[in-house]
C-alpha cells in the first residue's frame, strides 16, 4: 500500500482510501486473510467464496448448503513429531501408571514407562490400539472431557514448549472465520477422536461440538446410583479416516460439503466426495513445505503422508498450499 | 380476549390493545403457541423458554447451549397404524417385487405381497429386519434419497388419505418455531432411519440434515466408473432408540440437551439424560389421548408404548401433554 502526499486530515483519509483501492485492491484492514501472501492459493479461496455467496452469480449457493469441512491434524493444527492425541495418550499412560502396577511388566506399557516409545510401538497398530483403549476407555464421557481439559491446560509441545492449542495455523483460523462470516457452516472431519477434539474445538476454532466429526469408541448408557452416565467402552466404534471420511460426513452432516480442506492422503476421499457434487466446488491440501518455521514432509512421512493426494490435486486442479511460500505466519503470536 | 366498546377507529385500536394486554396477557397474534389451549403444558413451555433466554434470569442459558431434542414418530408426526417408515418399506416391497421373482416363495415377502401383513410379521424382529434391509440397502445414498422423495410425493396415509408430511402435529411445529426464534438449536433424535427423515425434515420441520440423529445402516465409499458413491449395506450400524438415544446424542451433538420432547418409552433415556444435567431442564411427553382426532394409546400399545415413561414423568414432574385437552388442533389445515 502506498500513500500519496495529502494536506488536510479529511483529504488524507480520502486519499488513503483511494490509494488503497487503487494499489492493493482493498484496505489491509479489510483483508479477510491477512496471514496469507498474495498468490494462487489465497486468490482461489477468495474467488470461491465470492462466487458462491454473490447473489446473481452463476455459482451462487444458498446459505443452508454452504458446508465446509476441515481435517484437523496437519490442517488446523500441527501433527509433528506425533499426532497430539497420541502424545496425550502417552502422558496419560504415565499418569495412570500408579493405578496399573501390572504395566511394569506388560508391553507396550513397560517400554513406554521407560521412555522407550519406539520399542513400545514395535508391534505397530496393535500396540497403538492398546495404548488408546487403556487411556481413552473405562471412564465416563464427563470424566474423559475433564482429563483432556486438564491435559490441554498443562501439557506443552515437546519442541516449541507452547500449549497444544497454540500450535494451530493462524492462516487457517482466518479461513474458518472468513467462511463463517460468509454464512458457511464449518465442520471438522478428522481421524482424531471426536470427544478429544470437542473439548477445544469451540474455543480454539469457533467450531461447536455438534460440528465436529471424528473417530470414536463405543459408549454405553447406564444409571449409576440414580444418575445416568455414558461409559466409554474399549471398543472401536468408527474410524473417521480415508474412505471413512465420506461415511462420517454422510452420517453426521447428511449433505455433501462444497468445500474441503485437508493435508494428507487420509483426506483424499473427503476431497473426492466433495469434488464430485454438482456446481462449484473447492478442494485444498495444505502442503507442509516449511522445515524452518514448521516441518517439511509429504510422500514418505509416516505422520500425515501426502502422496496420492498430491498427484490427484495436480491432476484435478485442486488448490495446494505451499506453506513456506503462501503463509506469512504459521502459528498465532505467543 | 374481550373487547371494550370503543367509538373511533384509532381509540378502537388502542382499546383492543389494552384489553388484550389486560385480559389475555398478550396479543393473540403474539402467541407463539396458538394451537395450544391454555393450561399447565403450554405454561410450562413458555415459562421454560422465558427463564432460559431472559438475560439476568438465574436460569439463563447462553445461546450456544440451547439444545432441544425431539423424537419424531408420535412426537412430531403420527405413528399409527404403523410407523410410517415401515409403511414405506411395505410399499417398496411391492415396487421392487418385479425385480425379485424369488419373493413369491420367500417369507416374509410372499405374505406381504399377498397383503397378509400380520402373517408376514409372524417372525417378529427377524422379519422386520429382513424387510428393512431388502428395501433400504443395496443402493447408493443418492438413490435412496430419491426413492424416499418419490414415495413421500405420492403415498397417502391409509386412513386420512393425506400425504405423510401433513400428518405432523401443528402444536409441535409451533414449539419448534418458537424455540428457534429464541435461539434454540432444534434436533431430531429418533429411532427412525436418519437418511429417511433427512429427506423431509428440513422442509417439514425446519430441521436441517445435520441436525437429524437417527438409526442407520452401514455405508461404504466406492469409486464407480470414476464417480465416488456411498453404497448402503444390509448391515445395522446404529439403533437410535431407548438407551441408544443418549449415545446418539453424545455421538452427534456432543453436548447434553437442555430440553427433550418424546412420546414413548423409547424416549425415556433421552429425557433422563437431558434431565440429569445441571441448571434448568425441560422434559415433555406427548400423551396420545385423542381417539377421535388422532389415536389414543399408551401402556399396552405395540407402536409407541408409553408405560414406564408415564410413571417417571409423574414422579419427576415432567410435562405430560394431554393431546385431547391441550391441543386445539392436531394436524395442519388441509
**Tens of pLDDT along B72-83?**
999 999 999 999
Question: Hey, how many other C-beta atoms are within 10 angstroms of the C-beta on A301?
Answer: 17
CA distances from B39 to B52, B159, B259 (A): 20, 30, 19
Q: Which domains does chain A have, with CATH numbers?
A: 1-30 (no CATH), 31-80+169-326 (3.40.50.1000), 84-154 (no CATH)
Of the pLDDT bands very low, low, confident and very high (cuts 50, 70, 90), residue A28 is low
CB B28 within 8 A of CB B16: no
All 3 cell numbers of residue B173? 411445529
> Is A258's pLDDT higher than 50?
yes
- Residue A216 bridge partners (DSSP): A238
- Gap between the Cα atoms of B219 and B92, Å rounded: 20
Q: Pick A254's closest partner by Cβ from B185, B194, B246.
A: B194
- Gap between the Cα atoms of B297 and A155, Å rounded: 56
Q: Pick B230's closest partner by Cβ from A219, A221, A247.
A: A247
What is the mean predicted confidence (pLDDT) over A112-119? 91
pLDDT for A124 = 84
CB A298 within 8 A of CB A307: yes
Helix, strand and coil in chain A, % to nearest 5? 45, 20, 35
CB A136 within 8 A of CB A193: yes
Of the pLDDT bands very low, low, confident and very high (cuts 50, 70, 90), residue A15 is very low
B203 class by beta-carbon count within 10 Å (0-12 exposed, 13-18 middle, 19+ buried): exposed
**Chain A closest CA to B83's CA: distance in Å?**
22
* Interchain proximity B228–A272, CB inside 8 Å: yes
- A115-133 b/e (C-beta count within 10 Å ≥ 16 → b): eeeeebbeeeeebbebbbb
* Interchain proximity A254–B209, CB inside 8 Å: yes
Q: Pick B246's closest partner by Cβ from A67, A210, A221.
A: A221
Least confident of A118-122, A158-162, A252-256, A312-316: A118-122
Chain B residues with at least one Cβ partner in A under 8 Å:
64, 67, 141, 185, 187, 194-195, 198, 202, 208-212, 216, 219-221, 223, 227-228, 230, 237, 243-244, 246-247, 250-255, 269, 272-273, 276
pTM of the model: 0.91
pLDDT for B29 = 66
> Is B294's pLDDT higher than 60?
yes
- DSSP code at position B22: I
Q: Pick A221's closest partner by Cβ from B194, B221, B247.
A: B247
Number of alpha carbons in the 13 Å side-chain half-sphere of residue B275: 22
- Closest chain A residue to B242, measured at CA: A221
Helix residue ranges, H only, chain B: 9-19, 40-53, 84-96, 109-113, 117-120, 125-136, 141-154, 170-181, 194-205, 244-252, 268-275, 308-316, 323-326
CB A304 within 8 A of CB A288: yes
All 3 cell numbers of residue B69? 431434542
CA distances from B45 to A204, A255, B222, B281, B312 (A): 34, 32, 47, 11, 19
Chain B residues in contact with A223 (beta carbon < 8 A): 272
B17-22 long-range contacts (CB < 8 A, ≥24 apart) are none
CA distances from A224 to A229, B80, B247 (A): 7, 35, 16
Of the pLDDT bands very low, low, confident and very high (cuts 50, 70, 90), residue B7 is very low
* Interchain proximity A194–B223, CB inside 8 Å: no
> What SS3 class is residue B35?
coil
- Closest chain B residue to A216, measured at CA: B251
Q: ipTM, 2 decimals? A: 0.90
Of the pLDDT bands very low, low, confident and very high (cuts 50, 70, 90), residue A122 is confident
B259 class by beta-carbon count within 10 Å (0-12 exposed, 13-18 middle, 19+ buried): buried
- DSSP code at position B329: -
* Interchain proximity A221–B194, CB inside 8 Å: no
* Interchain proximity B209–A255, CB inside 8 Å: yes
pLDDT for A29 = 66
- Average pLDDT, whole number, for chain A? 92
What is the mean predicted confidence (pLDDT) over A62-73? 98
pLDDT for B20 = 39
pLDDT in tens, B192-235: 999 999 999 999 999 999 999 999 999 999 999 999 999 999 99
Amino acid at each position: 500500500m502506498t500513500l500519496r502526499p495529502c494536506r488536510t486530515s479529511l483529504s488524507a483519509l480520502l486519499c488513503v482510501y483511494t490509494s488503497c483501492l487503487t494499489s492493493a485492491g482493498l484496505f489491509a484492514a479489510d483483508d479477510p486473510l491477512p496471514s496469507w501472501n498474495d498468490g494462487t492459493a489465497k486468490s482461489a479461496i477468495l474467488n470461491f467464496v465470492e462466487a458462491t455467496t454473490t447473489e446473481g452469480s452463476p455459482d451462487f449457493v444458498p446459505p443452508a448448503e454452504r458446508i465446509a469441512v476441515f481435517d484437523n491434524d496437519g490442517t488446523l493444527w500441527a501433527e509433528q513429531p506425533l499426532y497430539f492425541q497420541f502424545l496425550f495418550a502417552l502422558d496419560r499412560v504415565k499418569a495412570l501408571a500408579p493405578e496399573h502396577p501390572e504395566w511394569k511388566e506388560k508391553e507396550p506399557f513397560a517400554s513406554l514407562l521407560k521412555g522407550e516409545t519406539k520399542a513400545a510401538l514395535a508391534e505397530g497398530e496393535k500396540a497403538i490400539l492398546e495404548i488408546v483403549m487403556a487411556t481413552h476407555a473405562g471412564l465416563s464421557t464427563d470424566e474423559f472431557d475433564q482429563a483432556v481439559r486438564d491435559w490441554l491446560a498443562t501439557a506443552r509441545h515437546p519442541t516449541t514448549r507452547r500449549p497444544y492449542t497454540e500450535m494451530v495455523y493462524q492462516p487457517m483460523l482466518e479461513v474458518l472465520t472468513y467462511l463463517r462470516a460468509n454464512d458457511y457452516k464449518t465442520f471438522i472431519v478428522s481421524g482424531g477422536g471426536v470427544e478429544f477434539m470437542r473439548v477445544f474445538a469451540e474455543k480454539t476454532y469457533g467450531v461447536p461440538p455438534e460440528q465436529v466429526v471424528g473417530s470414536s469408541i463405543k459408549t454405553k448408557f447406564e444409571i449409576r446410583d440414580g444418575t445416568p452416565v455414558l461409559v466409554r467402552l474399549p471398543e472401536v466404534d468408527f474410524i473417521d479416516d480415508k474412505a471413512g471420511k465420506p461415511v462420517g460426513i454422510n452420517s453426521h452432516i447428511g449433505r455433501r460439503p462444497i468445500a474441503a480442506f485437508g493435508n494428507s492422503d487420509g483426506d483424499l476421499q473427503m476431497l473426492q466426495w466433495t469434488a464430485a457434487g454438482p456446481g462449484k466446488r473447492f478442494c485444498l491440501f495444505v502442503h507442509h513445505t516449511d522445515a524452518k518455521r514448521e516441518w517439511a514432509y509429504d510422500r514418505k512421512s509416516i505422520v500425515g503422508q501426502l502422496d496420492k493426494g498430491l498427484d490427484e490435486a495436480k491432476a484435478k486442479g485442486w488448490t495446494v498450499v505451499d506453506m513456506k511460500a503462501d503463509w506469512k505466519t504459521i502459528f498465532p503470536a505467543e
